[in-house]
Chain A
Amino acid sequence: MSIIVSAIGQGLTWGIVGIGLFLTFRILDFPDMTVEGTFPMGAAACVAAIYSGASPLVATLIAFVAGMLAGLVTGFLYTKGKIPVLLAGILVMTAAYSVNLRIMGRANLSLFDKPTMLKNHFLESLPPYFDSVVLGIVVVAIVTALIVYFLQTNLGQAFIATGDNPNMARSLGISTDAMQIMGLGVSNGLIGLGGALVAQNNGFADVNMGIGVIVVALASIIIGEVVFGDLTMNQRLIAVTIGSILYRFVILLVLKLGFNANDLNLISAIVLALFMMFPVLEKRFRIRHTLAKGMTKHD
């Protein structure tokens, strides 16, 4: 049972990364590769700040700022430098590697014996692994609420319009460049925040921890969409976090099935592919209809 709790805790933490990528991948509608650099950058900034004596909360906020700065660089390269966004992201991701080594001063920093947001009296009094669940729920709730609020402001509406149709948005007098830079900044800030939480949960930051982050975040977004179908914007944000938890369940399931350890990536890819084919299979076998039938009362 506790392994499921741990998976939910990790899913919530990674959900923040998913929400971050959602802002660029779904709302602004372009792929942002910066995340593989900003995720370890958030982790590095957070751990380095804790080492220099900052409180874990301050360190986590510093991680947000660090991620945001990197995102802003991508934004400027893309809008002002006219570099295609995929390439701009890759450039910043590559540069982030060296920056992360500079931030930490080495390739790997451990949080052994250092304070983290998980090491406080209340969280340590909970049963095992509930610390990351409680922290995850609090952070996801705050982040989701802030974004839901933001998207309903005038600025937020302009942001959505930029992603939907940049030409239309420009004709309405919206500065699409500013919107895209802002989106990349906030998105990467959130991913840095996610990196900081993962580092505190795992107990260390490592320059290589960015490998595969974009896959995890995309999987969270897509699983959420596939499982729930068409949703309103606010519901979609929640669906990303649920998708992220389900992704952790997939990994857990693959581990539980006890295949050869070297086949892990293959098996999780197959399980994910099945997930993503759900709409096709659904049409064919009417799975959702059958499931819905199982949930309603007999008339």
Chain B
Amino acid sequence: MKKKYLISGVVLIFVVILGVAFFQGQQKQKPQAKPTVGILQLMSHPALDAIHKGIIHGLEEEGYKPGKNIKIDFQNAQNDQSNLKTMSTKFANEDADLSIGIATPSAQALANTITHKPVILGAITDPKGAGLVKNNEKPGGNITGVSDQAPLKEQLNLIKQFMPKMKTLGIIYTSSDDSAVAQYKMFVKLCKQENVRLKAYSIANTNDLTQVAEQAVRSVDAIYVPTDNTIAGAMQTLVGAANNAKVPVFPAVDTMVKQGGVATYGIDQYQLGVATGKMSAQILKGKKKPSTTPIKFFRHGKLIINEKQANKLGIKIPANLLKEAQQKGELIK
């Protein structure tokens, strides 16, 4: 009998909590002097961490110093998506003046929970395709942000210049990463237009990468990797397999060049973050409104060449590109 009372007791407590909350539900919280910004990141890996750092820097450039005149609530769901909703609710409950989502699922969780305060997308490849905004030019709601869409055509031309004798190009992407798949599809179209033979490989998670990469390097002359969070986290595995077969890897993201890719016209992830931070600051100040601020796309990337890696694989870097990287881009020695 005692157990019954205990269970009823606990249930009663929940009911009381709900009752109290029900009557408090409509009350408004006091406005805060210091604006609060919530940042929700899906998981830790170099590209997403760089975006996060860039956001802080962007806010600082606009005069918001974390801890001084702005409160930053940073949450990392550690790739467990059941945490995203709780964390989004925490932001809503704090009455955060603005929330930033890094990676698609975190942005979707925020967008679904927060409907009256601005939500900024930190590097979402295709906001319209992910169902986050109605229109990339005129978002219309409380959501806008920055896209990390890579300049695919520029990148494909770069690969052609590096590999004039290339017969088959391989692409490796993660089938569970929506934005990677979106880029893969665009890349397929592009290769058809440019008459490049493309062989596609996909992985479900990083554990598949070793075998898939080993398979891929046997049948292609070069490998392209789109903006792919999973592969970014396991770049060393891919580079290891590619090095053994002397096949160069051309990634879409600058951080992946540093980890052993040969070259790219990359959008600096950190700069993406800075742009996100600046956009957020302008919205906080009331200078811009999410509904009328178009999604920001970066059309041109910065040339980054990993000279060490190119020499290792015996690839000759075209002189004009070498010059461009030295002057306007970055050359890793």
Contact = CB atoms under 8 A, between A and B. Distances in A.
Given A107-B177, A112-B111, A208-B176, A239 B7 contact: yes
Interface stretch (B17-25, B246-254, B281-289, B304-312): B17-25
Contacts of A30: none
Interface stretch (A125-133, A142-150, A169-177): A125-133
B20 A1 contact: yes
Contact of A203 (B10, B112, B178, B204): B112
A158 B210 CA distance: 48
B181 A106 contact: yes
Given A110-B130, A110-B132, A127-B26, A242 B83 contact: no
Contacts, number: 159
A228 B6 contact: yes
B80 A212 contact: yes
A127 B4 contact: no
Contacts of A229: 3
Given A130-B25, A251-B86, A228 B131 contact: no
Contacts of B69: none
A10 B26 contact: no
B280 interface: no
Contact of A252 (B14, B20, B86, B176): B86
Say what secondary structure dominates the interface of chain B.
Answer: helix
B44 interface: yes
A101 B204 CA distance: 10
B7 A101 contact: no
Interface residues of B, number: 55
Interface in A102-125: 106-113
A106 to B, nearest CB: 6
Interface of B: 2-4, 6-7, 9-11, 14, 17-18, 20-22, 24-26, 41, 44, 74-87, 89-90, 92-93, 104-105, 108-109, 111-113, 130-132, 134, 175-178, 181-182, 204
Interface of A: 1-8, 10, 14, 97, 101, 106-113, 126-130, 133, 198, 201-204, 206-209, 211-213, 216, 227-231, 235, 238-239, 242, 245, 248, 251-252, 255, 261-262, 264-265, 292, 295
Given A2-B24, A5-B18, A97-B176, 8 more contacts: A2-B89, A107-B177, A198-B82, A206-B105, A228-B3, A228-B7, A238-B7, A239-B7
